[in-house]
Amino acid sequence: MHPGTDFLLKPVFIHGFSGSLHIVLVFVLFFSWLWRKFKLGDGGGGEAPKQRFSNSRNSYYKQALICTFCVSGFCLVFCLLNYFSWYKNGWSDEKVVTLLDLAVRTLSWGAVCVYLHTQFSNSAESIKFPNFLRVWWGFYFSISCYSLVIDIVLHKDRVSLPVKSLIFDVVCVVSGLFFMYVGFFGKKEGRDSVLEEPFLNGNRSTSVGNDGESNKSRGGTNVNPYSNAGIFSILTFAWMGPLIAAGNKKALDLKDVPDLDKVDSVFGSYPRFKSKLDVGCGGSGRVTTLHLVKALVFSAWKEILLTASFGIFYTMASYVGPYLIDTLVQYLYGRRQFKNEGYVLVSAFLLAKLVECLTQRHWFFKTQQVGVRIRAVLVTAIYNKGLTLSCQSKQGHTSGEIINFMTVDAERIGNFTWYMHYPWMILVQVGLALVILYINLGLAAIATLIATIIVMLVNVPLGSLQKKFQDKLMKSKDKRMKATSEILRNMRILKLQAWEMKFLSKINELRKSEAGWLQKFVYTLAMTLFVFWGAPTFVSVVTFVACMLLGIPLESGKILSALATFRILQEPIYSLPDTISMIAQTKVSLDRIASFLRLDDLQPDVIENIPRGSSDTTVEIVDGNFSWDLSSPNPTLKDINFKVSRGTRVAVCGTVGSGKSSLLSCILGEVPKISGTLKLCGTKAYVSQSPWIQSGNIEENILFGKQMDKESYDRVLEACSLKKDLEVLSFGDQTVIGERGINLSGGQKQRIQIARAVYQDADIYLFDDPFSAVDAHTGSHLFKECLLGLLSSKTVIYVTHQVEFLPAADLILVMKDGRITQAGKFNDILNSGTDFEELVGAHEEALSVLNSVEEGPAEKISVSKEEGNSASTNRVVQKEESRHVQNSKTDDLGEPKGQIVQEEEREKGRVGFSVYWKYITTAYGGALVPFILLGQILFQILQIGSNYWMAWATPVSEDAKPAVTSSTLIIVYVALAIGSSLCILFRSVFLATAGYKTATILFSKMHHSIFRAPMSFFDSTPGGRILNRASTDQNVVDMNMPNQLGGLANSMIQLLGIIAVMSQVAWQVFFIFIPVVAICIWYQQYYIPAARELARLVGVCKAPVIQHFAETISGSTTIRSFDQESRFRDTNMKLNDSFGRPNFHTAAAMEWLCLAGLAVTYGLNLNMLQAWCIWNLCNVENRIISVERLIQYTNIPSEPPLVIESNQPDRSWPSHGEVDIRDLQVRYAPHMPLVLQGLTCTFPGGLKTGIVGRTGSGKSTLIQTLFRIVDPCAGQILIDGIDISSIGLHDLRSRLSIIPQDPTMFEGTVRSNLDPLEVYTDKQIWEALEKCQLGDEVRKKEGKLDSTVSENGENWSMGQRQLVCLGRVLLKKSKVLVLDEATASVDTATDNLIQQTLRQHFTDCTVITIAHRITSVLDSDMVLLLSHGLIEEYDSPARLLENKSSSFAQLVAEYTTRSNSSYE
């Protein structure tokens, strides 16, 4: 080189030139800022808003910002390192210039960072970065390359050069290259992701152009940034940045969370899984656990292989530290093997940590991604199976159990992905540890291997115990969930009968059995934890004793390397118990799901479908024998033969339990076929006996997946008399229906069901006695308009108990004992057999009562003349009021009315400290917490003490003299090891005890609160929400929460321990440690709002999946009959994806935090612990939400007291039974309209009062108010002079009897259904059965009173269930009896029988009857006619009939006309 230019190679020149350029940059940035300030001040502000909400920005802004921040931090670290190094060794010109250059670099890159943040965070003023910045990046890259070239030239010239200069220049070149790329190739990107949307909502007018796009986003088509992320974004989880930023500014909602990628969505992953499963099973459908596992593995094999490779790299990188520790110790004591060895060692440590960090984060994320996918495909498989299950299979598995498969088993298998690589990775980790130990300690490594094997063998019996307890725990949980599900479904009847506390004790008994297994499980887990926390200490003791016996010299370097290896060996040993436990749990869950998927489906060959329009015969059965139970020798339907042509009306009639509903089910293909043929031609629609209504609005229920045709829709509403009902409802056909149609009357539900069927425009209609749930007028209207009108050209097969609907049929089938005993037209079969004659005879007998009342003398009525007059006067007054209120009611409709089912409540903002405090102080007032912490602290102190002892007491090298003898060394070490093991034993046992006790207390409190909640809570809360808390959230509190909190305390105590040790050894570490911790805490605070809301969304999005599933199971027959399975499967998949979205992003957010917060800490020895600490903290934050959700349900507002000690009525109350109603006003919720609008009347004691009125007039509401299911908002009800609001609920409800509208039976036995409180003798029960005509039926059964009743009483017909309800009231013998449309589901003969029984056994009782059959109320002493929540008429039937213009007389006339007409 030219002698005049050699200064160009001098570091002084390079650093001076670089520093000058960086100072220039700072000035340019400063002037640019000033210019902008003045420009905006001069009126540029008008454009600011437009720019602020600009819709595009530079795609590399985030990466550039992060990189500038890192370069600034990197320069600061080098500046500080050089300062401390040169401060001791003296200064020179070159050192001063270098230091100034680094300081200026730190300042200037910090300024660039601030500039980028202020200019680009909210907007994109320019599509590219500013020109001066791009020019500067070009200069920076050139200088960096120049410096690196000079370094290489000087190295070749054998000039001694510090390694750190070389490292610094390499980093500068790499960062310069990156800046060149983003500066010159960074492109504009559109904000098409919903993640940006919250920032745009500040001003609606600005986003007009983007309206269509944003609406589309809300519909759930927002693109997942993960799908489009580049390699750098994926590596650093930068694609999560916008979501976390959005969460930091506002509480996230589901619409803010991006969709899943196609691979992770159920729509993409389920078909793949299904095809693998079908190939594995060979099309046989006999799914085994092995088939299931293979299908799951092959459907995600790429991700599983990727996670395996991450696991391998992570394991190898984690062992670099222990392997090099001995070398580092020797280096520190001056034994250097080559020049710059220290730099090489530090670089190796740093690189290993970097690889360890990245691979661990991506390993964790990918496993969770696979977990989300596996859970979703399993839930979908279980759902699809539930849709095709045969009735026989369904009886073996109740909906509660199947829900458990979804909520617990599928969840657990999804969680197993965390552990799937652990079994083989443990072998790799142990193998690597042994190699390192062999290098350091020679043959003593064999002792380590033996000790490790012993520890692992000790775990085998513990693992098998855990599997056994887990299995039992799941079975008992199933039983509890099954019972809970059934109880929640029937909570109304439990409250009416005052049985809820008895059923709560049943749930508590089931929980007691479950808690027994839970206790065994958690204590076994505590023992396992003790074994494995003590394991590393045991292994190290055995190894060091072996060294002493073999005469292997122990040096401090080798000891430290061995201890570091043992500490890493802790990971496989710690994870082994969890892995074994998880394998056991997952095996149980896989077996359970496989056995469910193996169950028999409906027979596919029951129906032979003939192409539509190819035949005139729509239904034909030849020699058909069908049976619900194929193993039973007695078929359900025998020798069925009939043929139905297109457009024919077929009526099916017969007594209770004769097989009418089974005949319809058999046409639907629901009943297994034994022999014969069943042919169908055309589409079918079905209306079930007990209405099945989906939660959703009324319109959705009627359309049922079909496109809206307004003309046809209005015609159907008119035909089904729904127009008036919709006018009364605040939201019309957009009114949201509560779970199982809770906010509709029985008649409304039935009419919506009929409307749904009629709107489908099918070829074949099957009606299972739908007219029984509606009043006479509506029934005749429905029959005329629907069956004879809209469906006149269709094939209609209808089951009916109303004889008046029979003459209109072209063919009547009379059934008895599962056979068709007579078939033909009405007049033909009337004279040809006894069965039909009996039915018609019973009907005529009922009509004769009607005639006798119409013609009979007034004296028959046992009310005094005065009372009669007052009643008539009352009627006139009420009529006047009626008009007045009716007028004012129209004004009411203007008020905003709320829907009954509100969106699920979720807490927002941070989880309050009170939740943590409640959790830790629930058990024993938190008395065990100090002992748990003390145990952990002592364990940590003894661990540090034992390590310190080994390092201090052993010599640095062979030639140095040891401080103590070998025996003393080992004895002290063993003593410290035993002490630490005992501490961990106490800590584990106390933690298990506290966790178990807390879970038990929270369970009891929540269930007590739920069972004491008012009925309005159950009406507005879908069962899925409650079941979700009782299963998923309770499971988290039972199994996960104690160990999560214990793990957090453990990692924090360990972290503090290590900080304490390091502060003794190298206090300078605090210079780096304090800012690092501050940054980590800031990151965590930045991350927590988004993570917390995501975790809450996971909880909220799970309930709809369960809810939809429970509805599907109960309505599967209806769904199949309409051929709607594929639509329901799609809905389930969408709901699953909605649940998967927050789940997937929660996992990604956790890894984003670990990478962001730990990018700075991975150079320190504290990194793993700090990572673990933050990870635990965030995990606890996410899990504590389950506790928060349970606590939320322990504070449900309660019903009034069950018993008021100071105001208990006499045992004989009510002795007379007079019911006095005064100005009664009732609404179902504060935000809903009045249902009863000021009723005043008296039901005389000992008399029969009939309540009639059109559907929705308030009949059932009046009864609910009498039982205080709903409390009046004004007015009162007195029974025998006592205000029912002043006494306890149980005192009231236990003294009244009711036969409800929907006959309910519970799973159990006949005895437990009649006498759940166990207060009657067998003799009394048999007497009641005889009175209600069920004695012979029960005697036929094998177990008599102990014969089983399946879920919902499905093995009993509807009529038989109604008779059981009659049996209950006969046992109870109350003075006041309410019949709420009690005979709706039975034929006329059975109805007459019930009426006769009541007349015979309740002569001196007050009987209040709501009926649709006018004959049921004609022999009443008084009749109350309600209309729109007002009393229209109230008098004796005879008086009301005398006045032909009275509404009651018109109702009777309608009924008589209907009964006498033939509808032909």
Q: How far apart are CA 790 and CA 769, in angstroms?
A: 18
Task: Give one DSSP letter per residue of 1326-1350, joined into a string.
Answer: HHHHHHTT-HHHHHHSTTGGG-EE-
Query: Looking at residue 1160, what is its pLDDT?
Result: 47
Query: Looking at residue 1, what is its pLDDT?
Result: 46
pLDDT at 374 over 80: yes
pLDDT in tens, 307-317: 998 888 888 88
Reduce the DSSP state of residue 1417 to 3 states and report it: helix
pLDDT at 442 over 70: yes
817 phi and psi, to 5 degrees?
50, 40
The tokens describing 683, both together, are 């589409």
Q: How far is CA 164 from CA 79, 96, 519, in A?
A: 12, 16, 58
Q: How far apart are CA 15 and CA 102, in angstroms?
A: 8
Q: Where are the alpha helices (DSSP H) in 201-300?
A: 211-216, 225-228, 231-236, 241-249, 266-281, 289-299
Reduce the DSSP state of residue 189 to 3 states and report it: strand
Say what percent of the chain tops pLDDT 90. 6
Q: Which of 627, 610, 572 is nearest to 449 (CA)?
A: 572
Query: Is the peptide bond prior to 1214 cis by the omega test (within 30 degrees of 0)?
Result: yes
Q: Which of 628, 388, 487 is nearest to 1007 (CA)?
A: 487
**Average confidence (pLDDT) over 383-408:** 80
Query: Looking at residue 769, what is its pLDDT?
Result: 83
pLDDT in tens, 512-536: 999 999 999 999 888 888 887 777 7
Beta bridge partners of 811: 650
Residue type (1 letter), 3: P
Query: Looking at residue 893, what is its pLDDT?
Result: 32
Cα-Cα-Cα-Cα dihedral sign, residues 198, 201, 202, 208: positive
Q: How far apart are CA 169 and CA 171, in angstroms?
A: 5
Query: Looking at residue 892, what is its pLDDT?
Result: 35
Q: How many CB atoms lie within 10 A of CB 714?
A: 11
Q: Is the pTM of this model over 0.95?
A: no
Of 1346 and 159, more confident: 1346
Per the CB < 8 A criterion, the answer to whether 732 and 697 are in contact is no
Query: Looking at residue 1306, what is its pLDDT?
Result: 82
Of 126 and 997, more confident: 997
Where do we find the tokens 């990727």?
Answer: 306
Query: Looking at residue 42, what is its pLDDT?
Result: 45
**Average confidence (pLDDT) over 1186-1206:** 88
Reduce the DSSP state of residue 1243 to 3 states and report it: strand
Q: How far is CA 1384 from CA 200, 252, 707, 1409, in A?
A: 58, 49, 34, 12
Which of 396-410, 741-755, 1063-1077, 1215-1229 has the weakest average pLDDT? Answer: 1063-1077
**Average confidence (pLDDT) over 1417-1421:** 80
User: What are the percentages of helix, strand and coil residues in the chain, rounded to 5?
Assistant: 65, 10, 25
Contacts by residues 1129-1133 (CB-CB < 8 Å, ≥ 24 positions apart): 1129/380, 1129/383, 1129/384, 1129/387, 1132/379, 1132/380, 1132/383, 1132/1105, 1132/1108, 1133/266, 1133/267, 1133/270, 1133/380
Angle between helices 422-441 and 320-332 (to 10 degrees): 20
Q: How far apart are CA 276 and CA 1338, in angstroms?
A: 49
Residue type (1 letter), 1365: C
Reduce the DSSP state of residue 618 to 3 states and report it: strand
**Average confidence (pLDDT) over 421-426:** 85
Query: Looking at residue 904, what is its pLDDT?
Result: 53
Of 1108 and 200, more confident: 1108
Query: Looking at residue 789, what is its pLDDT?
Result: 87
pLDDT at 1187 over 70: yes
Query: Looking at residue 930, what is its pLDDT?
Result: 92
Res. 845 pLDDT band, cuts 50 70 90? low
pLDDT in tens, 638-660: 888 888 888 889 999 887 778 88
pLDDT in tens, 485-507: 888 888 888 888 888 888 899 89
Of 1119 and 1164, more confident: 1119
**Average confidence (pLDDT) over 1084-1104:** 80
Reduce the DSSP state of residue 1422 to 3 states and report it: strand
Q: Which of 999, 1001, 998 is nearest to 929 (CA)?
A: 998
pLDDT at 897 over 60: no
Q: How far apart are CA 1422 and CA 862, in angstroms?
A: 9
Query: Looking at residue 790, what is its pLDDT?
Result: 87
Contacts of 1344 (CB under 8 A, 6+ apart): 1310, 1338
SS3 labels along 111-135 = HHHHHHHHHHCCCCCCCCCCHHHHH
The tokens describing 455, both together, are 């520890």
**Average confidence (pLDDT) over 401-430:** 85
Cα-Cα-Cα-Cα dihedral sign, residues 1435, 1441, 1447, 1451: positive
Report the mean per-residue pLDDT for the chain: 78
Beta bridge partners of 1219: 1243, 1279
pLDDT in tens, 704-719: 888 888 888 888 888 8
pLDDT at 1393 over 90: no
Rg over alpha carbons for the chain, rounded to the nearest Å, is 40
pLDDT at 424 over 90: no
1232 phi and psi, to 5 degrees?
-115, 160
pLDDT at 1239 over 80: yes
Of 45 and 445, more confident: 445
Per the CB < 8 A criterion, the answer to whether 64 and 129 are in contact is yes
**Average confidence (pLDDT) over 1181-1192:** 85
pLDDT in tens, 1430-1461: 888 888 888 888 888 888 888 777 767 665 55
Query: Looking at residue 1004, what is its pLDDT?
Result: 92
**Average confidence (pLDDT) over 549-565:** 77
pLDDT in tens, 315-333: 888 888 788 877 777 777 6
Say what percent of the chain tops pLDDT 70. 81
What's the residue count for the chain?
A: 1464
Where do we find the tokens 């359900």?
Answer: 636
pLDDT in tens, 787-805: 888 888 889 999 887 777 8
